Structure 1
């Protein structure tokens, strides 16, 4: 499941190190090229709304195999696209259909014993993180050798092979919703109204992934520009700097099993804020840029896994719809971040992008602080050592973020 999740989610990230090359071939501006990322995220969000709830209704192995087969076809459409319109159409369809990754995550949670659910979800999500990272690295290297279209042809063949493997290895699992499709969609919307924890964590996830989208939708333009002048393969290799996100997924899952989701979310929120100070310096210093990428990916994944651990514990019988509600908000944030990044970079450059990211991260910190009021009792039970560690992380991160904002001013 971890390998399958990684390969499915990779389909949405092949374009990120290739944006400058695609823009040159199709004669697009930087903001128009960034729409490739935005459209992928919007398509994914639509898939989360209209496709993911089917995991509670249909037999999951068959659903997964149909989705991966259709994803192979959409990747082939992207590879063959002669113009911007078909490129965006193929990208949108790939995003819509590659929601398979989020069908598999609650599937794994259903199969896991409760006391190990956080660790197992973290293991599956580490595959997702590595898929995102390796997608950038492999696509950059392959595009350097054989052109960006070859990346999508190869990805289509990989998805065909994955379909055959999943059909062979996944267990059968019938959904138990007992509802019609329209009722299923309505019940997903009702969950957001009825579950305050889901609402809060969905908003936190939206802001965290918007920071992620801001970074990766604009980074290729910085690295391909006059300051660095990197090739597609060089840009793709930098994606490996985010491998810490896989470590964060495992650690956050284990902390969730111990009931430390609030502490983990707070520390990661302030770490996310601090990472933008280093990313600002990264315009001229590669070491600061790499460190900022590592910290941002680590913090983003820590928030995400903590969110999922809390949400999956709410109502086990509707995990597919809980995932749909949460992940729709989450990927809407990614689409928003990538869209804003393209516009801001074209008008204000890298400094403007870092200001945007820091502002979104600050909103996340404020929302987390507000959400902890109803959990004060849990905070009182935290050990003194944990409180000191948390305060140290938060204070240091705020200082870094403050320095970056002073520099901008």
Structure 2
């Protein structure tokens, strides 16, 4: 599951692949930095919508089926990004990739379902490590590939990685029943999110803190390549991608925090 989550992180991270090569996208389409900045912005918005609108489906359908369907659609979205004739088409494809990129988060609940109660935090931490490591190292891979081969090549490589994830998931992910045994309607599931938000203060704090962290990191990584490409640095996509190695090092702490959660529980 750790290897699968790592591959999934590499496969779904289109926004991170493009970040080191944003200067290449800007040069090819003769676009301003402001317009090119919409590529990672819309992908992140799509990702947030995917978490909000698609992740709840795991409560009513098999997560294995959900993963496989999203993987197929994600491959098509990545291919569409790779053949985009203009920036407008790339923006549309990026929204689709972000929306379907929530597939990576579908592996975490599977780990929670399979693990014993006393090891659940450790299992989720391990899978999260693989997922985050794949996502963070995708910046490095994207930069190293984009510099000699162009930014489009990374989209096709990402599509190939997703095909690999789909093949591995087909053979290894168990066909677990939905988390909820009741046949809830999709609208009821979405409406229940508001109920949880109102009733659980811990959930509200977690959502706000994670949203602030995600937006801050997203802003940093989305502008890094453009800053490094401009004066006085004049550095390429490969250098911008190498910065991802530093971020990947932090993901290795996830299993430790998972074990800490097993011992002490969640803070109130």
SS at match of 1:99: helix
Are 2:27 and 1:19 equivalent residues in the alignment? Answer: no
Cα distance change of structure 1 residues 220 and 193 upon mapping to structure 2, 3 Å threshold: same
The answer to whether the 8 A contact 1:255-1:261 is kept is no
Instruction: Tell me the matched-pair count.
Output: 263
Are 2:169 and 1:170 equivalent residues in the alignment? Answer: no
Greater share of residues in helix: 1
- 1:249 maps to which of 254, 257, 260: 254
Q: Which residue of 2 aligns with 1:3?
A: 3
Measure the CA separation in 2 of the matches of 1:45 and 1:80: 24
Measure the CA separation in 2 of the matches of 1:235 and 1:25: 18
1:8 to partner: Cα distance: 4.2
Are 2:72 and 1:57 equivalent residues in the alignment? Answer: no
The answer to whether the 8 A contact 2:12-2:97 is kept is no
Q: Which residue of 2 aligns with 1:140?
A: 143
Measure the CA separation in 2 of the matches of 1:231 and 1:40: 22
Cα distance change of structure 1 residues 38 and 115 upon mapping to structure 2, 3 Å threshold: same
- Hey, which bits of structure 1, 4+ residues long, moved more than 4 A? none
Q: Structure 2: which 5+ residue stretches go unaligned?
A: none
Are 2:203 and 1:180 equivalent residues in the alignment? Answer: no
Measure the CA separation in 2 of the matches of 1:41 and 1:222: 20
RMSD of aligned alpha carbons = 1.6
Residues 225-262 of structure 1 deviation map (CA, whole Å, 9 limit, x = unaligned):
22322111121112111122222212222222232765
Are 2:116 and 1:103 equivalent residues in the alignment? Answer: no
Residues 285-326 of structure 1 deviation map (CA, whole Å, 9 limit, x = unaligned):
xxxxxxxxxxxxxxxxxxxxxxxxxxxxxxxxxxxxxxxxxx
Measure the CA separation in 1 of the matches of 2:212 and 2:54: 23
Are 2:222 and 1:217 equivalent residues in the alignment? Answer: yes
SS at match of 1:98: helix
Residues 367-408 of structure 1 deviation map (CA, whole Å, 9 limit, x = unaligned):
xxxxxxxx5xxxxxxxxxxxxxxxxxxxxxxxxxxxxxxxxx
The answer to whether the 8 A contact 2:74-2:100 is kept is yes
SS at match of 1:94: helix
1:173 to partner: Cα distance: 1.0
Cα distance change of structure 1 residues 85 and 177 upon mapping to structure 2, 3 Å threshold: farther
Measure the CA separation in 1 of the matches of 2:28 and 2:10: 27
Equivalences for residues 362-381 of structure 1 within 5 A: none
Measure the CA separation in 2 of the matches of 1:218 and 1:189: 33
The answer to whether the 8 A contact 1:129-1:245 is kept is no
Q: Which residue of 1 aligns with 2:241?
A: 236
Residues 150-192 of structure 1 deviation map (CA, whole Å, 9 limit, x = unaligned):
1101111221222122111110112124201111111122211
Equivalences for residues 197-212 of structure 1 within 5 A: 197-212=202-217
Measure the CA separation in 2 of the matches of 1:187 and 1:131: 32
SS at match of 2:81: helix
Measure the CA separation in 1 of the matches of 2:130 and 2:182: 28
Greater CA drift, 2-11 or 179-188: 2-11
The answer to whether the 8 A contact 2:47-2:101 is kept is yes
In our comparison, the structure showing a higher alpha carbon Rg is: 1
The answer to whether the 8 A contact 2:137-2:248 is kept is no
